[in-house]
Amino acid sequence: MGRFSACPSRSPLRRGTPTSLLSLALLALALGGCSLGVMAGKMFKGEPLRQAEFLSMTGTDLGKGKHRIAIVCSTPASVESELSSLNFDLIDGVTRRLKVHGVDVVDPDIVAKWIDDNGGVVTDPTAMAGAFDAEFIAWIDIDTFSLKEDDTSKLLRGRTNGFVRVYQIQEVGDSKVALSAFNSEFTSIFPSHQPISELSRSKLSFQKEYIDRLCSELAVKFYDHRPGENF
């Protein structure tokens, strides 16, 4: 009995046979062996999806739209005085990205109004438990945020440190409580290699670009994505 191989057998092309990109790819597989199968798959299908950090840690797939989540954000007073809109910019930006990927999210205007009505500060997840029609509350807690490179005045580099804490809302008797379900520390630096001169890019333009990127970095914690997606 002949010996079988899992790889395609080698066969020469007939002279004059027209070829296409697909046939060339198949030829590369035949000549190069099965190890090229993964490369060919990436060529036609792209990089495989990376599982959301929230899903891997909790077992809950928000991308199916069966669980509603509210996004809230808190920033320290030092950041609030310099960039008062950062709080809402992050809530709005993360919410929009989640909606695009099928996640059911509470309207950011409702969240922002609740924060304003409660002194503009988020401190107690239990206080939020009955505030929103949601199963989860994701609290983006910013510790530090800056747009300037250290010890310089003309170099721009975005830096953010903080935590994403998610609480699951559950009913206990006649009340609702917020129970910890997910906790993830994050550090964001952009650009990673070297700062950008303020002479070539306005601070306002860079601020918008960096906040957009930060929203993407935070949002991908909640849905399956390809490596580097939206970055």
Residue 17, SS3?
coil
pLDDT of residue 216: 96
pLDDT of residue 202: 92
Smallest Cα–Cα separation from 160: which of 202, 217, 199, 108?
217
pLDDT of residue 10: 44
Q: How far is CA 71 from CA 8, 39, 130, 160, 202, in A?
A: 51, 38, 14, 18, 30
Domains delineated in the chain: 19-48 (no CATH), 53-219 (3.40.50)
Q: Amino acid identity, residue 118?
A: N
Look at phi and psi of residue 200 and say left if phi exceeds 0, alpha if psi is from -120 to 50, else beta.
alpha
d(CA 219, CA 103) in angstroms, rounded, equals 10
| Residue 30: pLDDT over 80 | no
pLDDT of residue 230: 59
Q: How far is CA 102 from CA 5, 64, 65, 145, 205, in A?
A: 43, 6, 6, 29, 29
Q: What is the pLDDT of residues 38-84, one digit of tens each?
A: 444 454 456 788 899 999 999 999 999 999 999 999 998 889 888 98
Q: How far is CA 134 from CA 52, 106, 112, 154, in A?
A: 20, 7, 15, 44
Q: What is the pLDDT of residues 139-170, one digit of tens each?
A: 999 999 999 988 777 899 999 999 999 999 99
| Residue 27: pLDDT over 80 | no
Position 122 confidence tier, pLDDT thresholds 50, 70, 90: confident
Q: What is the pLDDT of residues 211-228, one digit of tens each?
A: 999 999 999 999 997 886
Q: What is the pLDDT of residues 89-107, one digit of tens each?
A: 999 999 999 999 999 999 9
- Average pLDDT over the chain reads 83
pLDDT of residue 179: 95
